């Protein structure tokens, strides 16, 4: 569903009445996101800044036809929020909260798969179709329509890369922050087919980091796609954490290595074997991407 999002997609915001909900709803609407409804537990709210507010997702969906949701709720409330959205028929849920209990994340993942839905999160800045809409708080300054699809564990690094690409005259076709938690919804490999089949995408940028095995899984999926002659788009990658010290905590909860899996070496080797161009710095990645697409 991510690849079909547009300015016309009706979106529901769960938790719209909170300070962060109001602020981010205003930012998303200003960018073009079609927020048609919100939910809040308060009985005294009929609307917020012109957006109708309902007590639950079922009432909101019935009244507005919303098909996607972004949940601005605390970590402990994410599980209940996603379940409520799924029961109302929502098929894309974005949850930005960091620190969702692992047990809850596992339960959310099972519920999403059983419903045939898509979950982006937790601990994500969101996603965007530049020039159309965004779900989350990706900075407008880094968003520009163009041919490069971005998938990233790191919000901050992807903002910088997106901004640099935009300054060089290359914008983005799709942008998905998968988050840095060990248990989450959409992972890099899940985005490969949508990115490869997306008509406006000419190249893919992957922003990874040490820990976990997402990059290795992506490499395996890309190699399989190439074997079937489906991978005709160049992939560029940068892996954060090359200076990370063994045994020292680094940023995201999912930045964990296990033996030879999840290391800088294992990720780089797997990606390069699958044909990905891996760079030590974002400057080199951007320069090579621009040269490749404009050459």
Enter the tokens of residue 216: 């290795």
**Residue 282: CATH number of its domain:** 3.40.50.261
In this prediction, residue 30 has a pLDDT band, given cuts at 50, 70 and 90, of very high
Please tell me the least confidently modeled range out of 41-45, 71-75, 86-90, 231-235: 41-45
The separation between CA 281 and the C-alpha centre of its own chain, rounded to angstroms, equals 22
Whether 115 and 182 map to the same domain: the answer is no
In this prediction, residue 72 has a pLDDT band, given cuts at 50, 70 and 90, of very high
Residue 14 lies in a domain: yes
Mean pLDDT within 158-179: 96
pLDDT on residue 228: 66
Report the number of distinct structural domains present in the chain: 2
Please give the Cα distance from 57 to 272 (Å, whole number). 44
Q: pLDDT (tens digit, 9 = 90+) per residue, 1-21? A: 899 999 999 999 999 998 999
Mean pLDDT within 29-34: 98
What b-and-e string marks burial along 5-42, b requiring 16 or more CB atoms within 10 Å of the CB?
beeebbbbbbbbbeeebbebbebbbebebbbbbbbbee
Residue 125 lies in a domain: no
Residue 67 lies in a domain: yes
Using the 3D structure, point to which of 120, 150, 174 is the last residue of a domain.
Answer: 120
What b-and-e string marks burial along 54-81, b requiring 16 or more CB atoms within 10 Å of the CB?
bebbeebbeebebbbbbbbbebebbbeb
Whether 66 and 205 map to the same domain: the answer is no
| Domain that includes residue 188, residue range | 139-294
Please give the Cα distance from 64 to 12 (Å, whole number). 9
Per the listing, tokens 């999002």 go with 5
Residue 290 lies in a domain: yes
Catalytic residues: 252
- The model's pTM: 0.93
pLDDT more than 90, % of the chain: 83
Q: Is residue 128 scored above 80 in pLDDT? A: yes
Whether 275 and 153 map to the same domain: the answer is yes
pLDDT on residue 10: 98
Q: pLDDT (tens digit, 9 = 90+) per residue, 201-249? A: 999 999 999 888 999 999 999 999 987 656 689 999 999 866 555 555 5
Whether 255 and 285 map to the same domain: the answer is yes
């Amino acid at each position: 569903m991510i690849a079909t999002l547009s300015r016309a997609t009706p979106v529901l915001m769960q938790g719209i009445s909170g300070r962060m909900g109001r602020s981010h709803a205003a930012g998303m609407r200003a960018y073009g996101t079609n927020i048609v409804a919100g939910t809040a537990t308060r009985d005294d709210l009929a609307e917020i800044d012109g957006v109708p507010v309902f007590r639950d997702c079922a009432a909101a969906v019935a009244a507005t036809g919303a098909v996607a949701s972004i949940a601005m709720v605390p970590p402990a409330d994410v599980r209940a929020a996603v379940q409520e959205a799924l029961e109302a028929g929502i098929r894309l849920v974005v949850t930005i909260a960091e620190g969702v209990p692992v047990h809850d994340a596992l339960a959310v993942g099972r519920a999403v798969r059983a419903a045939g839905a898509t979950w982006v999160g937790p601990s994500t800045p969101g996603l965007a179709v530049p020039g159309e809409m965004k779900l989350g708080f990706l900075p407008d300054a880094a968003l520009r329509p163009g041919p490069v699809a971005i998938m990233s564990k790191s919000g901050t690094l992807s903002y910088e890369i997106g901004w640099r690409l935009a300054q060089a005259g290359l914008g983005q076709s799709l942008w998905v922050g998968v988050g840095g938690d060990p248990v989450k919804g959409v992972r890099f490999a899940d985005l490969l087919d949508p990115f490869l089949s997306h008509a406006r995408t000419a190249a893919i940028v992957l922003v990874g980091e040490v820990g976990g095995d997402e990059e290795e899984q992506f490499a395996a999926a890309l190699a399989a796609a190439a074997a079937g002659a489906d991978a005709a788009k160049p992939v560029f990658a940068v892996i954060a954490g090359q200076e990370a010290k063994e045994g020292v905590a680094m940023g995201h909860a999912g930045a964990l290595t296990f033996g030879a899996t999840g290391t800088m070496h294992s990720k780089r080797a797997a990606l390069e074997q699958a044909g990905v161009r891996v760079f030590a710095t974002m400057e080199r990645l951007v320069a090579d991407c621009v040269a490749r697409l404009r050459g």
